[in-house]
Amino acid sequence: MNRDAASDRDAIMAHVTKIRGFCLDTSKANCLLVEKDFDPKLEEAMGELVDLKFVHHVKSRVTVRSREGRLFDAFMLDLSFYTGERARRGFDMIEFWRTDDADALRKAGLIYAEASKAV
């Protein structure tokens, strides 16, 4: 990371800390949703986190039932951040790749950032 993102290291680590806290403590799930096109700076930061493999982009154009007409990008926190958490009770491992678990990504509780919810 020092070589790849030395100038933005503090900002990147701040995003990682917030996202990890959101996943482990708030949503208690390995995935999170970010509303499309609402914050260009956050969108850029998420792209950097994907490039650095801290998070992984898992699906575009996710809809949430209670957020009609709005689209989200789904991301998964890298496994290295929650290896021990998987055994913890109440931690939801969303298997987004399974067709029978497709609705699991559509929960409002997974929304990390949206127009009405500042990060």
Q: 108 with 66: CB under 8 angstroms?
A: yes
The enclosing H or E element of 33 equals strand 31-35
Closest by alpha carbon to 82, among 28, 4, 36? 28
In whole angstroms, how far apart are CA 77 and each of 34, 54, 55, 70? Answer: 13, 6, 5, 22
Q: Who wins on pLDDT, 9 or 44?
A: 44
Per DSSP, the three-state class of 41 is helix
Tell me the pLDDT tens digit for each residue of 30-79: 999 999 988 999 999 999 999 999 999 999 999 998 999 999 999 999 99
Kindly report the pTM of this predicted structure. 0.86
